[in-house]
Structure 1
Amino acid sequence: MDKQQQYKRVFSHLDKNGDGKLSPPELQVCMGKIGEELSLEEAEMVAQLMDSDGDGLLSFDDLVKVVEGANEDERVNDLKMAFKMYEEKEGCGCITPKSLRRMLSKLGESRTVDECELMITTFDLDGNGVVDFEEFHHMMACS
């Protein structure tokens, strides 16, 4: 079963009245099932924010965008956590050749600082000798 089919199955399960749209009360029940309590007012606000055609209801496409967007947000958060493990000093915002060497060593891969400089050069888009989060994100998207 591919993603689209899975989404359709979930959508039809959530669409209790079968009208092809998720209403705020249906959204409220859905969120309750996954442990997130929403008031009806909050469900209405969420529906309005995510609704693409202005009818206050969520279509199948709206649901897919929400799920895909959440997946992307989760992926970016995971990348941020991974990036922090490689940073020179927490919060400095960059991976240096030394910090890359240190992390690779912890992972059981022995590299020299020169080898790490060469690795960084590959993804150092602005040429400053370090990898910032945007460059790290690009690097991970390429792998």
Structure 2
Amino acid sequence: MDKHQQYERAFNHFDANGDGKISALELQQCVNVVGSLGRGGELSLADAEVAVVLIDSDGDGLLCFEDFVKLVEFGVGEEEKADDLKKTFRLYEMEGSGCITPNSLKRMLSRLGEIRTIEDCSVMINHFDLNGDGVLNFDEFKVMMSC
């Protein structure tokens, strides 16, 4: 079985309802089943939704086969990029809070020579704040950095 056939088989397994697309819920459920077998970790629905947003090529909120292949191949050689992104996130977040607030964004932008008001920073954060809590967690920061 070649790589393409393996991807098709996995895609069909993830596509529980057989509609030719993978939803965030289908992605989460399949990853968690694999994780329960001792072959991986758990995936929250929020993380699955972020993954779909990052990879979805046609904006329908679902992963087609080509999107799925991108997702599977994303991890190959991406470990360094992920580490760099985590380090960058830590520069912007409030110490130990695990999130970027308007105040912490303003502080970091000032260090970079860009003066912004708290209101400006709130608007920037709200644009990428997927869960509406007024701050950016790491997953939302990844979405922002991919744009």
Task: Give me the TM-score of the superposition, normalised by structure 2.
Answer: 0.49
Higher relative contact order (CA 8 A, sep 6+): 2
